Amino acid sequence: MARNYFDLYARVAEGLWCLGHPLDAQRRELEDPWQFSMGEPAHFKGQIKLPLDVEGESRDFSHAAFGTPVVNAKLAALFQELAPHDVELIPVEVDGHAGPYFILNALRKFTCIDTEASAEVDYWTEEDGLPEKVGKLFSISGMRIDTSKVSDAKVFRPSEWKGSLLVSEDIKDAMERAGITGAVFEAVTGPPTFDPVRRAETKRRGELWNQARYARAAVWRGLGTMSDDFYIPPVVGGPWPGKSQNWIAVRRPEGSMLIVTDGLSDPYSDILDRPTAGFGLELAIETPEPLGEVWKSWPVHLLERVAYEVAEFEKLRVSLANGTLSMEVDGVGMPETLVTPEGRVAVLIGMETGSLPSRFTLPGGEVRLLTVKVLMPAELKWLLQQGKGAAAELIRRFTAAGETHLSRSWRQPVVS
């Protein structure tokens, strides 16, 4: 009898709580937060606390940061009954909630993905500049697995794509009968659901996208050192041309950290007969300051917000085509020294620098690399007071003061 399995993940919606980075008893971030998604026993044995990144309604099944599954006592009992040898239930304390709650850690993993039956599969290549990832899955959708390779498991992770938590149909049915909240199921068994014509279009779209990605990767590698330690998680969807938001971090030879958008020049997802270069631009922010975990740093969050505005509003891109542009974004989570009394942070986009290429070429056309320089609140106030021509004068003052395109969380303003 054929067995059915499902990818179990948490429903995300406005009004629901959002759990943060796992902490130890002293509220220090765990050094290896990925250990709960490896398909093997967790090695941290101390007390674990989970902060609330966003207040909201709790769920029976949730994800904390790094895709960590979190369940309440009701759901923990269900897994303990139906799959006692496939999971470990690790007690956790959730800030402001009595619980009990548990991390649901799958103990088994199998090499089981059927790439031919899956709808869309892409792999890391040498052109991506991360040798340790070459040949591994870069993305997958419409996953299908070979059930002959998963033994008698009821809960496990696929070795090739450990971010997925797979459960058997009897567990899915039991969760639905129990009225478990927060859980979403997506079938990973059964006939492939993809359309051959659509798959051919997807393949062509992937070819065009990879051409652009490989060409950009060559540019980024020429600017410094890329490392898996600098990895910044992508975001699927949004207003970028390829419907995927990606960022790359590069350690510059002089020691500064350069963060660039990697996809504003992606080919448009609906144009398949020729290469295109999307918006024809990418954004870059560079800082000499130490950042710790790069993906959590303020320059990354600032660049994310600026890039979203540029991608969302064509009028901003038109303005950038005519020169520099100053703009403001939300200041939540930014260094206090950069935040205006109105809770905003200002940047200047398009300041020229001799240390970065201003343009490079992709198969779809020429792309401009535009710098993003964070402004001090006093400089924004001065800009707004001066009006037309103020940006050019501000750049002149930066140059006179020996200030470059580099962004810092604090410095002396060049205006008084």
For the segment 314-343, what is each residue's pLDDT rounded down to a tens digit?
Answer: 999 999 998 899 999 999 889 999 999 999
Report CA Rg, the chain: 24
- Cβ neighbors of 36 (< 8 A, separation 6 or more) are 22, 42, 66, 68, 69, 90, 103, 105
Cα–Cα distances in angstroms (integers) from residue 110 to residues 133, 302, 369, 411, in the given order: 19, 39, 43, 52
Is residue 248 exposed (0-12), middle (13-18) or buried (19+ Cβ within 10 Å)? buried
Residues belonging to the chain: 416
- Determine the Cα–Cα distance for residues 277 and 362; give it in Å rounded to an integer: 7
Sign of CA dihedral 108, 114, 119, 124: positive
The overall average pLDDT reported for the chain is 92
More confident residue, 237 or 349: 349
Cα–Cα distances in angstroms (integers) from residue 115 to residues 73, 123, 411, in the given order: 36, 11, 52
pLDDT, position 129: 67
- Report the share of the chain in percent with pLDDT over 70: 99
For the segment 351-375, what is each residue's pLDDT rounded down to a tens digit?
Answer: 999 999 999 999 999 999 999 999 9
- Picking from 283, 408, 410, the residue whose alpha carbon sits closest to that of residue 351 is 283
- Determine the Cα–Cα distance for residues 228 and 226; give it in Å rounded to an integer: 7
- Determine the Cα–Cα distance for residues 87 and 39; give it in Å rounded to an integer: 9
- Determine the Cα–Cα distance for residues 284 and 230; give it in Å rounded to an integer: 15
Sign of CA dihedral 236, 239, 240, 241: positive
For the segment 254-297, what is each residue's pLDDT rounded down to a tens digit?
Answer: 999 999 999 999 999 889 999 999 999 999 999 999 998 899 99
pLDDT, position 240: 94
For the segment 240-262, what is each residue's pLDDT rounded down to a tens digit?
Answer: 998 889 999 999 999 999 999 99
Is residue 315 exposed (0-12), middle (13-18) or buried (19+ Cβ within 10 Å)? exposed
pLDDT, position 1: 46
Number of helices (H), then strands (E), belonging to the chain: the values are 7, 23
Q: Is 70 exceeded by the pLDDT of residue 2?
A: no
Q: Is 90 exceeded by the pLDDT of residue 65?
A: no
- Cβ neighbors of 382 (< 8 A, separation 6 or more) are 390, 394, 413, 415
CA dihedral 173, 177, 179, 183 (to 10 degrees): 0
For the segment 183-226, what is each residue's pLDDT rounded down to a tens digit?
Answer: 999 999 998 877 788 778 888 988 899 899 999 999 999 999 99
Tell me how many degrees the CA angle 383-370-325 measures, rounded to the nearest 5. Answer: 25
- Picking from 410, 415, 368, the residue whose alpha carbon sits closest to that of residue 396 is 415
In Å, the largest CA–CA distance within the chain is: 78
Is residue 85 exposed (0-12), middle (13-18) or buried (19+ Cβ within 10 Å)? exposed
Q: Is 90 exceeded by the pLDDT of residue 62?
A: yes
- Determine the Cα–Cα distance for residues 64 and 71; give it in Å rounded to an integer: 10
pLDDT, position 99: 82
